[in-house]
Structure 1
């Protein structure tokens, strides 16, 4: 293995040397520049390191987007974040609004509703691990931050891949607000708004909401059935800021959201024997071939609404206990229910239909002490507790319209006889209770060796405990008569249950150096280890051997980067290169023939790559942003389904990703202003699975969006016209080989959408 790894380190070291030379040279030139003026790049303050800092002062790879930038690029759900972050991808196997992020090739292919991915999502520092509690949150945001790499020494929940932070606007004491309303194609109408005021000089409140409704764009040609991929949702958030003194503040947020649209549609592409894989022909019927349909049409007979209800309560307190010392407490409670049912075969047949259900409750407490001394040494010391309880149920409804025994009746006997011949015309339903508890203590330390050179480090100790209880999988007839207990596999008790559990402790950490030049430009390097805890397999259905506990993931990361502002702050250039050693990646391995699903670990992988992000303001009326991400992933050791995967690429890891945008203040006059915005993003080809099947990979594609807006001179009124996916590009967001049922399973990206939005500020 050493001779294979050495070239990766050599590449990394050469790139790091080049970056260091370029930044130091740029710094030497910039020392003669004039002081920054108002024509420079907008500064973004981030809290990526749990301190309010300029983005350019943070020695980690982080992308940040202000609320104004989110509006211009019309980013109104978490899936859209990928359009501005290099090396960030998303799969939507469980539908839009519940994204599964992949960052620098670190991803999760498990779509089970009991799982939490290696890229964590935080709302106002509250970890939202489970799909059922994510809800509607992309409204009234101050900014979004995306941190790459392990985050264990600073963030409450340890993750291997990174973190996506959504930060809502805090209440202010000024009385103000805004209201937007819009209309678009697919009969989309939407509105967002917020209002805030001070109740005296110590209490401020803010209320915000979001609402959207749109018809489905996936045209369902089956008579009486609705179009799919619709939108019907709202979110409410109330915030209270208590600031009794300059030494203490408390922000309390309460929110709720509801999604209740017709669910996503599945493009099921038939194999040579059609959807059904010849089973219908075997029993005197006809398999299905999607004859005469376009790629955005289907004939789905199973179309229940998606239902996702969330409730959340969080309290964040900051107490300046002494000069240079602050205690921060983040307490939270979350509750969510998620029901989503898909017509997996996308046809009028009942080859495979799957309703998923999860009910989740979570409580969490993050408590930390932060120093802000004037000396050389500072620290963050913290403790974290998280307890998550999930009830999960999934039902594989297989061949519910096939008369296996030919008696002219569809009932439990078709299930029993089908099991005998390997064609289970059954409902195969499992359910279980899962409880996960995590305790952690963490530290982040900085020591200024000189005024320019800083040593950083931190450790984290984590103890995880998981209990899976009341697990049962049953084969049930179409008439709901129970036929067999499949897991635990009792021959005498149809209602027998089983369980699993684990306990695991882990020590991980980070060490790094950063050097800041006299002009403020920076280079940095770090070595870190990330950890993701054990997981239970929610997709165990047919055999007790499928019920397993996946081992924890670990990620060793080496990273080096730079942050620069040049040309009187009119040019900002940030970049990083990295090497990852990835062990025991967890993912669902789907057998395409039997659809048996095992939760497994992939032994070893290697990822090298980098990002380069640019912002430029060549003239005061034009702002240009762009980014490029490069990945080279390779499986070093792993055998699945008796196939050696060595040398294959990881899933959701395209070699090249690009994004860019241009903002032009085209007109500024006494009567108002006109702003033109255009943006786009490109992704090279990628695989959605580790077997690297060319048949179901996503080819390279690019998406383009635009917006034109008018504002009155007093900035009170505005009107904008927007369009997304201008070229109406057809592309996939996830694909799975289920050829055992005669088709490939595909989620699709959104088609072209457009509309008008008006707003008023008060």
Structure 2
């Protein structure tokens, strides 16, 4: 086995050294990139065309019958300038929400209110993350750092036909920059508060022009400790991280018809896991109280709240373009291993000790979860040439994963290791026909078989479980051009999330739980337009979906359990709006908004409740334990409103450059953290914004700027731990710094 840590450091160091060295040969580029929106670029006073691959082909966003949005490479650099992790994508497009109670290691994605609040490393999610055509199924793979990207696409609604099971909510699709035929160097570096550093770069080097080329890229993010431990008196004890990632790609095109792309990516994370803060909410309100101090926690356990993870992803993609079709094969191996530990109660002491705080701590809690994961995927596709009146593609997909999750309690509970395996295969097809010059119809179908197995290692009772299912997913869409500038579409899609096994509670002497497949039917209609010589883009989509047997995770509660449950039904409806306005060639505004109403529909579903908070739902006693009836409640972590706005204004100061100001803001509406309703664990609306002021060359070759993230230093509660006390965790503080970017 190759030493991944050494390989990563060598790859990242060589990439960044090349990226920040002045190239001996710099290619002139015609770049009209602005950093404005993440999805928009000014070009002669018009908005650029947005390219998406929602149908596994490159297409104009305006011609695709699906609600989708993109985040460009410029916007990605803005978002992560202060060293942010994957959760920084939350709210960057309408309908998308991301959060984590596992620090930088295991994000949870939500689209249109559908997600999974389960904090366990074995958690299943209804939002799929696909990077360079490879599904990153496990939560620790989904946290792989985002760098050197061409674009990020967010496809909203079921995507089960082309992308498989576990996509009833949608997909976050990440495409990185690929090797090319010309020498190219890109890079960025930023330095800010708390000694926050974020450096990334990419170098493309043609080996044999037209035949072989390589691209090396790397990322280094780090921050110093900045949070004090008020219990021990130690200053600057928590908050640090070092996140290093690298990628090496080689593209070989021996003929005009054949291309072979090999990719190897590695990551090494060493940092602080989520900082839980005891009793900072309530009681009887969701306001932060006197126990809250952003710069201080009070820990008597957790061993520094350390999180350490490694990951590697190796992929081979082969494409052969015949006269009648293109053949594609994508083979990928991925693994992840690491652990995170935390002082879960967020305070010190317990009710039976002479000291405790902040607030009432019934009993201490200090646990560590770790994972060792292997994943293999294989996909083959045959697709007709693009641009004809009839386009088609067929393919097959195979998925296999095997991983162990170990839970260790320090004092309690004893160490327990459980094993999860998942094997799935599918065949699929899709066709699009041009009925008239204005009307196109698309239909797709996929057959999937999925099997999961679970057992407890080194136990007298292995508590083995297995589940399986087979399903047909399908979608039908119609797209009609009203004019050259406007179109409408309608789409009906089905999807499902495969059955799931959750075994973390074995560590707490409870049986594993099982949830059967959730099945979704989604109805969507939309309007897309580009007006005034493509100076205004306005896209609007409305949707309604129903779910049979939705999977939920009843996490926490006074018993501190993670139980999978199926509700009888669920439903959601709402809209998404994406727009951009090129006011002048130097002034660009983007605006996005989504409204989402979700509801649990099950009169008998009762879940565990918090130990100290104020529950507003009807309470029933089942087997001596109080439970809340959650019928009619919204889905957890499903903001009713999500909004984003950005603006960039520039003043030319020479024939080669301009002074610019850029700002971006996100809005998160009222959000409930858990299945039950309570005063404490429902947030009020939140905002967070950034600012960037600097100088940029017109050709995109250089930018120097001052920046600020969370510029108003908002204290936003992002999640809670409810079993022991009113514990919660918050967003990152304001970071102010300087940055440099270049592109040759």
**Shorter-chain TM-score: what band?**
0.7 to 0.9
The number of residue pairs the alignment matches comes to 660
- SS of corresponding position for 1:702: strand
CA radius of gyration, larger in: 1
Residue 671 of structure 1 deviates from its aligned partner by 5.9
Aligned partners of 2:576 and 2:595 also within 8 Å: yes
- The answer on whether the counterparts of 1:181 and 1:191 sit within 8 Å (CA) in structure 2 is yes
Residue 425 (structure 2) aligns with: 439
Q: Are 2:660 and 1:675 aligned?
A: yes
Q: Could you tell which deviates more after superposition, 522-531 or 629-638?
A: 629-638
Q: In structure 2, what is the Cα distance between the partners aligned to 1:562 and 1:110?
A: 35
The whole-number CA distance in structure 2 between the counterparts of 1:614 and 1:714 is: 25
Give yes or no for the alignment of 1:755 onto 2:719.
no
Superposed displacement of residue 217, structure 1: 4.1
Once the two structures are superposed, what CA deviation does each residue of 1:147-175 show, in whole Å capped at 9, x if it has no partner? 00111111145411100011100111211
TM-score normalized by the length of structure 2: 0.85
Mapped to 2, the partners of 1:515 and 1:271 lie a distance apart of 51
Quote how far apart the aligned CAs of 1:448 are.
1.8
- SS in structure 2 of the partner of residue 133 of structure 1: helix
Residue 616 of structure 1 corresponds to: 581
Cα gap change, 1:293 to 1:681, in 2 (>3 Å):
closer
Q: 1:522-541 alignment to 2 at 5 Å?
A: 522-541=487-506
| CA distance 1:621–1:375, shift in 2 (3 Å) | closer
Give, in whole Å, the separation in 2 of the partners of 1:695 and 1:714.
Answer: 51
Q: 1:197 to 1:215 in 2, by over 3 A?
A: same
Moved beyond 6 Å, runs of 4+: 270-273, 289-292
Instruction: Give 1:439 deviation, angstroms.
Output: 0.5
Match of 1:48 in 2: 54
Change (3 A) 1:291 1:720: closer
CA contact (8 A) 1:697 1:735 kept: no
Moved more, 538-547 or 580-589: 538-547
Find the counterpart in structure 1 of residue 8 from structure 2: none
Q: 1:230 aligned to 236, 240, 245, which one? A: 240
Q: Which moved more, 1:191-200 or 1:343-352?
A: 343-352
TM-score by length of 1: 0.83
Q: Which residue number corresponds to residue 390 of structure 2?
A: 377
Question: 1:40-95: per-residue Cα shift (whole Å, max 9, x none)?
Answer: 11112111110011111111001112212323444653212223211211221222
Distance 2:269 2:239 in 1: 12
Q: CA deviation at 1:658?
A: 1.2
2:218 aligns with: 209
Task: Give a deviation string over 1:350-402, Cα, whole Å, max 9, x none.
Answer: 700110101110000111111126653221111000001110111244xx4xx
2:672 is matched with 687
Q: 2:642 aligns with which of 628, 635, 657?
A: 657
Shift of 1:587: 2.4
Out of 391, 416, 432, which is 1:430 matched to?
Answer: 416
User: Which structure 2 residue ranges, 5 or more long, are not aligned?
Assistant: 1-41, 350-362, 608-619, 621-627
Q: 1:332 to 1:466 in 2, by over 3 A?
A: same
State the distance in 2 between where 1:297 and 1:359 align: 33
Of the structure 1 ranges 544-553 and 53-62, higher mean CA displacement relative to structure 2 is found in: 544-553
CA RMSD of aligned residues (A): 2.3
2:357 aligns to what? Answer: none
Q: Secondary structure at the match of 2:672?
A: coil
Rounded to whole Å, the distance in 1 between the matches of 2:116 and 2:282 is 30
Contact 1:584 1:601 (8 Å CA) reproduced: yes
**Post-superposition CA distance 1:495-542 (Å, at most 9, x none):** 432210112111111112111233152211111111110111132237
Contact persistence 1:112–1:538 (CA under 8 A): no
1: CA distance, partners of 2:339 / 2:743: 37
The offset of 1:726, in angstroms, is 1.0
Segments of 5+ residues of structure 1 without an aligned counterpart are: 1-35, 274-288, 401-425, 473-493
Which of the residues 455, 469, 489 maps onto 2:455? 469
630 and 718 in structure 1: CA distance in 2 versus 1, 3 angstrom threshold: same
- Correspondence 1:503-582 to 2 at 5 A: 503-541=468-506, 546-582=511-547
Using the alignment, how far apart are the partners of 1:293 and 1:67 within structure 2?
A: 36
Asked whether the 8 Å contact 1:61–1:561 carries over to 2, the reply is yes
Mapped to 2, the partners of 1:543 and 1:342 lie a distance apart of 17
